[in-house]
Copies of this chain bind each other. A is one copy, B any other.
Amino acid sequence: MTARARARAELTREILEAARRQLAEVGAAGLSLRAVARELGLVSSALYRYYPSRDELLTALIIEAYDAVGAAVEQADGRVRADVASVAGDDARAVFDRRWRGVAGAVRAWARAHPNEYALIYGSPVPGYAAPTDTIAPAARPALGFLALLVDGVATGAIEPGPDPVLPPALAGDLAALREQTGPAVPEGVLLRALYVWTQLFGFISFELFGHLHNVITDFDALFDHHVAASTALLLE
């Protein structure tokens, strides 16, 4: 690898980092190439050697943010599993509970640590920006971590499948397609409950970060704990 190639890789990374810092300060709508260039002591046109347009830089930030949430989920779950493995005697439901709490807490912790990045990916869509297909896979990563949890929960017997729900064919089809990702072991009813608690998780985080519980809740940690416990109960059956 030549010195030039190394310098290029490093500067590409530095640009993205500066953009991330700027995003944290002014939000996605205010992100500007010129400000990023200024922070790096470059002339604005120089950025075009690295990112062909502002939108491509935004795309890189979006992908990075999704990947960060996904990684947070995976790492948290990994830690819990390592923890749990070292302690014998935990029953399947307790293990599931701890893993789900780890995952939910990891999403919330990341969001609180990176509110503008959270807003970028889970808040209002950026007007005039159409997400390219490169963002699809990273966007799915956090949910995939959650689905892995479900698969294990069903496999270990922690999750009670419950009776099969009666569903309109279109929705049944949607869930059938989802099962391609989880394997057929996870029944429809469990997927429905999973969608329920997953949207609740993001609804809670959005309300907390965007101030909709201002003047109502002060002890967000305690409320979150309680809600996650409610979700556990709902998932287990």
**Contact surface of A with B, Cβ cutoff 8 Å:** 26-30, 119-120, 122-128, 131, 136, 139, 165, 167-168, 170-171, 173-174, 177-178, 192-193, 195-196, 199-204, 206-207, 210-213, 215-219, 222-223, 226-227, 230, 234
Q: Given A200-B203, A204-B203, do A167 and B210 touch, yes or no (CB 8 Å)?
A: no
Excluding A167-B226, A196-B200, A199-B200, 16 further A-B contacts by CB distance (< 8 Å) are A27-B125, A28-B124, A122-B212, A123-B123, A124-B124, A168-B222, A170-B219, A170-B222, A171-B222, A171-B223, A173-B219, A193-B230, A196-B230, A199-B227, A200-B203, A201-B203
Q: In the bound complex, how far is the Cα of B218 from the Cα of A125, in angstroms?
A: 19
**Which B residues lie within 8 Å of A30 (CB)?**
127-128
Specify which chain B residues have a CB less than 8 angstroms from the CB of A230 in the assembled complex. 192-193, 196, 234
Contacts of A211 in B (CB 8 A): 125, 131
| Residue pair A119, B125 in contact (C-beta under 8 Å) | yes
User: B170, B193, B203: which contacts A199 (Cβ < 8 A)?
Assistant: B203
Q: Are the C-beta atoms of A206 and B122 separated by less than 8 Å?
A: yes
Q: Closest chain B residue to A222 by CB distance?
A: B171
Could you say which residues of chain B place their CB within 8 Å of the CB of A165? 226
A131 to B214, CA, bound (A): 12
> In the complex, which residue of chain B has the Cβ closest to the Cβ of A136?
B215
CB of A219 within 8 A of CB of B178, answer no
- Contacts A123-B124, A178-B216; is A171 near B202 (CB within 8 Å)? no
Are the CB atoms of B217 and A174 closer together than 8 Å? yes
A174 touches B119 (CB 8 A): no
B192 near A29: Cβ-Cβ < 8 Å: no
| Given A29-B127, A226-B192, CB of A174 within 8 Å of CB of B218 | yes
